[in-house]
Copies of this chain bind each other. A is one copy, B any other.
Amino acid sequence: MLTDRQLLILQVIIDDFIRSGQPVGSRTLSKKHQISFSSATIRNEMADLEELGYIEKTHISSGRVPSEKGYRYYVDHLLPPQRLTRTDIQKIRSVFAERIYELEKLVQKSAQILSDLTNYTSIALGPAFKESKLKRMQIIPLTEQTAVAIVVTDTGHVENRVITVPTTVNAGDLEKMVNILNERLNGVPLIDLKEKIETEVADVLRRHIRNYDSILNTLIDTLDIPEEEKMFFAGKTNMFNQPEFSDIQKVRPLLNIIEQEKDIYRLLRKQSQKGVRVSIGRENELSGMENCSLITATYSIGDEPFGTIAILGPTRMEYSRVITVLNRVATDLSAALTKWYQNQ
């Protein structure tokens, strides 16, 4: 549909705009070494590109800036190849080289390195608790009516909450019950716990434990673990490095979104399909993110998708570099996790 020349011009416009942040005019373009025709010719092509919706003017006699459609085409078809520098690769590698015992730390560090390398805001989501498996649960009485319930997963994650224990339940029974559960439920994915208890363990419990019902209620509380994955942010204020975000009034909504975290969480959850995904501007369907792009990638253990890492930046983002970095970190993180898991 677009001629080769139009593609070339579109690509150079977007490359230049990403670099400079300034609208690109025909004369500027004609001086580029990739381009060998006159500014008048370029003007004609630009008029066509604009009519097709790939670029826009900021005002009637201004140069052109990419439209969302333009960025979309660019990301899908025109990305200039990008290679990481040796230093970048080493920085990434060094993050995963240290021995780390807690899986979450690894994810958190990934977020950190992403924002360090790109200067954008980065987010790491993961691992979903429902994926991880029960290692041990424990109920530790605090007062007569309260206790701390602790669940340890095979990933080394510890989840805890304070629960109320009805006075009708006695401590010994509670302990016995926990013991039975630990024997039977080791290695069961957290998400299956409740079901498993009902189908397989309920009978045993009923036989061994007096006062079965109230204890079970207590237990249900315990297992009602927040399903939400932990989310790690890094470089939350990096947005302010971008000139397009220098007016505080205009970034306010975006700031709120980042501070709240929950909208971002939803966005990330939506895009859990494998591989790298790019959402440009209003594709995010979130008011306040009109001028942002979100690039996500999944990481996995073996073949099992595990979590998501992402970069949030302006629509005028260095897509090529970000995608390359994100890919690399996702790969290295996946490898580290896979290795980590094999040692389990």
Interface positions of A (Cβ within 8 A of B): 101-102, 135-136, 138, 140, 142-143, 146, 148, 150, 152, 154, 156, 158, 160-164, 236-237, 240, 245-246, 248-249, 252, 255-256, 259, 343-344
In the assembled complex, the Cα of A165 lies from the Cα of B308 at a distance in Å of 31
The chain B residue sitting closest to A154, CB to CB, is B142
With contact pairs A136-B140, A248-B248 given, residues A158 and B160 touching in the complex (Cβ less than 8 Å): yes
Q: Determine how many copies of this chain the complex contains.
A: 2
Contact in complex: A252, B240 (CB < 8 Å): yes
For this complex, 17 residue pairs linking A to B, each with C-beta atoms less than 8 Å apart, are: A101-B163, A101-B164, A102-B162, A135-B140, A135-B142, A138-B138, A138-B140, A142-B152, A142-B156, A142-B344, A148-B156, A148-B158, A156-B162, A158-B158, A158-B160, A237-B259, A248-B248
> A101-B146, A148-B158 known; 18 other A-B pairs, CB under 8 Å?
A136-B140, A138-B140, A138-B150, A142-B152, A142-B154, A143-B343, A146-B156, A148-B152, A150-B150, A150-B152, A156-B162, A158-B158, A236-B259, A237-B256, A237-B259, A245-B248, A246-B248, A246-B249
In-complex Cβ contact of A140 among B152, B249, B256 (8 A): B152
Contact in complex: B138, A344 (CB < 8 Å): no
The chain B residue sitting closest to A259, CB to CB, is B237
In the assembled complex, the Cα of A252 lies from the Cα of B255 at a distance in Å of 14
**Chain B contacts for A164, CB-based, 8 A:** 101
In the assembled complex, the Cα of A138 lies from the Cα of B55 at a distance in Å of 62
**Chain B contacts for A236, CB-based, 8 A:** 259
In the assembled complex, the Cα of A343 lies from the Cα of B158 at a distance in Å of 26
The chain B residue sitting closest to A182, CB to CB, is B140
**Chain B contacts for A240, CB-based, 8 A:** 248, 252, 255
**Chain B contacts for A156, CB-based, 8 A:** 142, 146, 148, 162
**Chain B contacts for A152, CB-based, 8 A:** 140, 142, 148, 150
With contact pairs A156-B162, A162-B101, A259-B236 given, residues A344 and B143 touching in the complex (Cβ less than 8 Å): yes
